[in-house]
Amino acid sequence: MEDNFPIKSVDHVEFYVGNAKQAAHFYKTAFGFTHTGYLGLETGTRDRASYVLEQGKIRLVLTTALGPDHPIARHCFVHGDGVAVIALEVPDAQYAYETAVHNEATGAVPFTEVSDEYGTFRYSAIRCYGDTLIKFVDRSDYNGVFAPGYSPTRWSAENVNGNRYKGFGLASIDHIVGNVELGAMNRWVDFFAKTMGFTQLMHFDDEDISTEYSALMSKVMQNGNGKVKFPINEPAEGRKKSQIQEYLDYYQGPGAQHLACTTGDIVATVTQLRDSGVEFLRVPMTYYNDLEARVGKIDEPIEELAKLGVLVDRDEEGYLLQIFTKPVEDRPTVFFEIIERHGSRGFGKGNFKALFESLEREQALRGNL
């Protein structure tokens, strides 16, 4: 089938943060990222500072404003640290923008070309849920560090040797989940379908999400080549406050809830993350008692998974291993998932109950359940 909206992959995810220098240190030391690019006063940019961090194929950009009246400062004031831009690498940023806007996306940054001695960098952006932007990036004619305006750090040279910043083994972005308001999920499902040709991969309703309190619904949208997956969650009426509603209350509206990063060795990756201070959600040890009966034979020793709190789920196509961090800022908003897939293309439906009960324990500790 012809892909009418070609997207190569997720290019980067940009966070607006209160203090990019310290956030960069956190993602380097706690998550194993390498600092590869910088933009700020020293490089001639007067209003903001940005740090590019890489690990495997994952690129994070951490940006802070250098003054109070900047829109980035406003974003941090309202939302706290959070995902401001989800950037997709496309073969043609002009076509992507015009097609999306023609199909009722709201334009945010019209097609722009910037050149320096390393070539030409092309981009554009449309509005997504809340204050989040989807940016279209074409870097096919650009050979510099990240984008014009950025300076390499001393680590950028490693890239030349084909060392893709191995770090703790995080390899690529598997999916990025958005939380939207009650009743808005289908509108955003339609948005991805209409503006960028995404199709629905699967959905989860209250039947699947069956804790005593948690109530949410979720639909997973994916692009034409299946490389970009955006699940959309909305809260549902439950006995107590939905975990999605807690996010919406503290993020002050819709936004990106979690980034799932793949690894080829979840035991090694999670051990390094944990030893570096990353905090993970824990399920009760009883989860592991009858695990093999539920998911069958897996390659990893169950004691190792139990020690770390890694969850397992299986479907017709294979199995997956996954674990979720606690929120990575004081507001209970953005968190990370670490996932290792062995054939399964699912999202760990069999773990929802144990996982959401764990989330609710944390939510109750915050006085928000």
Shortest separation between residue 355's beta carbon and Fe ion, angstroms: 10
Give 76 or 171: the residue with its C-beta nearer to Fe ion: 171
Contact 222, 229 (CB under 8 A): yes
Smallest CA-to-CA distance from 339 within 288, 266, 257, 231 is with 266
The interface with Fe ion within residues 141-200 (CB under 5 A) comprises none
Question: What phi and psi, each to the nearest 5 degrees, are found at residue 151?
Answer: -105, 145
Which stretch, 91-99, 183-191, 278-286, 335-343, contacts Fe ion (CB under 5 A)? 335-343
Structure tokens of 260? 């799932």
List 72, 84, 176, 260, residue binding Fe ion (CB under 5 A): 260
Structure tokens of 249? 């209350």
Residue with tokens 């995080």: 170
Determine if 337 is a binding residue for Fe ion (CB under 5 A): yes
Shortest separation between residue 181's beta carbon and Fe ion, angstroms: 20
Give 81 or 337: the residue with its C-beta nearer to Fe ion: 337
221's CB contacts (< 8 A; 6+ apart) are 189, 192, 193, 198, 199, 200, 201, 229, 230, 231, 232
Contact 198, 230 (CB under 8 A): yes
Which stretch, 37-45, 91-99, 126-134, 330-338, contacts Fe ion (CB under 5 A)? 330-338
Which stretch, 72-80, 138-146, 159-167, 334-342, contacts Fe ion (CB under 5 A)? 334-342
Shortest separation between residue 66's beta carbon and Fe ion, angstroms: 34
Give 58 or 260: the residue with its C-beta nearer to Fe ion: 260
Shortest separation between residue 177's beta carbon and Fe ion, angstroms: 5
Determine if 14 is a binding residue for Fe ion (CB under 5 A): no
Give 37 or 346: the residue with its C-beta nearer to Fe ion: 346
Contact 64, 17 (CB under 8 A): yes
Determine if 266 is a binding residue for Fe ion (CB under 5 A): no
Which stretch, 15-23, 253-261, 268-276, 286-294, contacts Fe ion (CB under 5 A)? 253-261
Please count the residues of this chain forming the interface with Fe ion, following the rule CB under 5 A: 2
Classify each residue of 34-59 as buried b or exposed e, where b means 16 or more C-beta atoms within 10 Å of its C-beta. Answer: bbbbbbbeeeeeeebbbbbbbbbbbb
Q: How far is CA 358 from CA 14, 133, 148, 179, 214, in A?
A: 28, 31, 44, 19, 11
Structure tokens of 69? 């009246």
Give 189 or 260: the residue with its C-beta nearer to Fe ion: 260
Determine if 338 is a binding residue for Fe ion (CB under 5 A): no
Shortest separation between residue 360's beta carbon and Fe ion, angstroms: 17
Contact 53, 62 (CB under 8 A): yes
Which stretch, 137-145, 180-188, 239-247, 254-262, contacts Fe ion (CB under 5 A)? 254-262
Residues near Fe ion (CB under 5 A) are 260, 337
